[in-house]
């Protein structure tokens, strides 16, 4: 300010806004080098001999370079600290670049905290920080008025500067808000795409498994029929040999008994293969799923001879009836519940059973979660656990979960396994509420 008022305040420029810094530590970039060039140019402009000015410019450069690091370490408070520091340094710079601070030609430095606030805050907070920066700039008006008079032209120039502060703040904030909105939209689209890809991979895996099961079922049926006939001959011959030997040769009679016993075991195994391969059609009726689950849990619990297993139930209220083949679905549930008990055979444990409504691939249905706290399923075979002959048991042929999968497929549902919340395995079964008239052939007997 001079005796002529604010005539020395003509012209203005806007300091280039810094790019939005990345959170966390970042490497020195060409934009940082450009900032340093700008500050060096400001340092070479008048007043050149004012060393306080040079120190302040260095401080502004340090704050600008460390801005991304500080906000990365303090996501909530970091932007506040950065804006406050820039307001303080801008105000101090004005005091050391002119005899009267309000008259300093360096006043556009206040665009720096204004633009920074616009980048990191919403519209209302941007207005608030712009008002604080404007107040810091106008604070030099009070000591100036003790020595000079404020003319109408000077007041208009000051008002224009303040208004440009607010206009620049809102303009930058608008672009920043739009950028944030677009970023959020892209993130949502990316998450939806990832979920779609996951469902596609799951569907492809289920399709491949169904194809393998169909081919294996045909092969198993043919082999089982071919094997059953020779087994019958061997068993009949062993029984006749046992009758003829009677007590004449005790060792031969014992060996013939072994032959008959092993033939019976092989015959039972062949029967399992036939049951695995035999196609049946589901007869769907509206079924109370929770009542069916309670019956399965009770029956398995009464026959269980191992360590105690505690049952936790978490059934959603007002569940609708669901179209099921009650006999087939009960066999699938028995297999899963029995497997859970056997997984906790040595130490006992807790089996948590949850039932709730859910949506999968835009289909309304019911999801059942059976989670135990046993040893779980090794990662190496988790993706193949529903394939035939894959098992974690010391005994058995690994057909149980394959048959369960076919039963669920026949109900147009899905089944998958994950790590349980308490360790162990967690099986999730989804069954749609709407009945599909085109039923898939499925298997009736759950082999173990």
The reported pLDDT for the residue numbered 33 is 79
The low-confidence residues of the chain, meaning pLDDT below 50, are: 1-26, 436-448
Total length of the chain: 448
Angle at 97 between CA 11 and CA 34, to 5 degrees: 75
Contacts of 439 (CB under 8 A, 6+ apart): 281, 282, 284, 410
The reported pLDDT for the residue numbered 221 is 66
Rounded-to-integer distance, Cα 132 and Cα 247, Å: 111
* Strand, helix or coil for residue 432: strand
End-to-end Cα spacing for the chain: 95
pTM tops 0.85: no
Joined tokens for residue 84 = 């406050």
Rounded-to-integer distance, Cα 4 and Cα 7, Å: 6
Q: Are 315 and 350 in contact (CB under 8 A)?
A: no
Contacts of 102 (CB under 8 A, 6+ apart): 1, 94, 137, 138, 140, 141, 144, 158
pLDDT digits (tens, 9 = 90+) for 237-256: 777 777 776 666 777 777 77
The candidate with the shortest Cα–Cα distance to 347, out of 379, 310, 314, 398, is 310
Rounded-to-integer distance, Cα 354 and Cα 202, Å: 22
* Strand, helix or coil for residue 12: coil
The reported pLDDT for the residue numbered 12 is 36
Q: Which ranges constitute the DSSP H helices of 368-443?
A: 379-382, 400-410
Contacts of 349 (CB under 8 A, 6+ apart): 307, 309, 310, 372, 373, 374, 424
At residue 145, φ and ψ (nearest 5 deg) are: -70, -20
The reported pLDDT for the residue numbered 217 is 65
């Amino acid at each position: 300010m001079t005796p002529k008022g604010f005539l020395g305040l003509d012209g203005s420029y806007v300091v280039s806004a810094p790019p939005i810094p990345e959170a966390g530590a970042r490497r020195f970039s060409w934009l940082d080098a450009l900032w340093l060039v700008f500050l060096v140019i400001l340092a070479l402009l008048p007043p050149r001999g004012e060393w306080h000015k040079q120190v302040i410019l260095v401080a502004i450069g340090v704050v600008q370079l460390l801005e991304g690091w500080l906000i990365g370490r303090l996501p909530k408070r970091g932007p506040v600290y950065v804006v406050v520091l820039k307001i303080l340094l801008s105000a101090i710079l004005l005091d050391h670049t002119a005899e009267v601070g309000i008259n300093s030609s360096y006043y556009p430095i206040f665009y720096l905290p204004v633009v920074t606030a616009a980048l990191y805050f919403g519209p209302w907070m941007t207005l608030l920080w712009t008002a604080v920066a404007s107040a810091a700039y106008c604070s030099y008006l009070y000591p100036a008025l003790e020595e000079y008079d404020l003319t109408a032209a000077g007041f208009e120039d000051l008002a224009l500067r303040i208004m440009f502060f607010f206009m620049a703040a809102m303009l930058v904030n608008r672009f920043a808000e739009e950028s944030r909105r677009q970023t959020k939209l892209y993130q949502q689209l990316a998450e939806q795409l990832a979920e779609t890809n996951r469902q596609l991979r799951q569907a492809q895996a289920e399709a491949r498994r169904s194809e393998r099961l169909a081919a294996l079922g045909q092969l198993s049926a043919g082999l089982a029929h071919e094997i059953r006939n020779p087994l019958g001959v061997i068993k009949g011959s062993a029984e006749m040999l046992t009758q003829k030997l009677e007590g004449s040769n005790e060792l031969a009679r014992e060996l013939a008994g072994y032959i008959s016993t092993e033939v019976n075991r092989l015959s039972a195994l062949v029967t399992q293969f036939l049951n695995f391969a035999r196609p049946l059609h589901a007869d769907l009726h509206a079924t109370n799923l929770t009542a069916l689950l309670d019956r399965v849990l009770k029956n398995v619990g009464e026959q269980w001879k191992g360590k105690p297993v505690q049952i936790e139930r978490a059934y959603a209220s007002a569940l609708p009836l669901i179209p099921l083949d009650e006999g087939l679905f009960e066999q699938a549930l028995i297999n899963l519940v029995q497997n859970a008990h056997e997984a906790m055979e040595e130490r006992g444990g807790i089996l948590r059973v949850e039932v709730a409504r859910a949506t999968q691939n835009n289909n309304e249905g019911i999801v059942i979660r059976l989670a135990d706290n046993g040893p779980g399923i090794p990662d190496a075979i988790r993706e193949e656990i529903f394939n035939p002959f894959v098992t974690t048991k010391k005994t058995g042929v690994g057909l149980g979960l394959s048959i369960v999968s076919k039963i669920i497929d026949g109900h147009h549902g899905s089944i998958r396994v994950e790590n349980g919340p308490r360790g162990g395995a967690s099986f999730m079964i989804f069954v749609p509420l709407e009945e599909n008239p085109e039923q898939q052939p499925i298997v009736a007997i759950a082999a173990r």
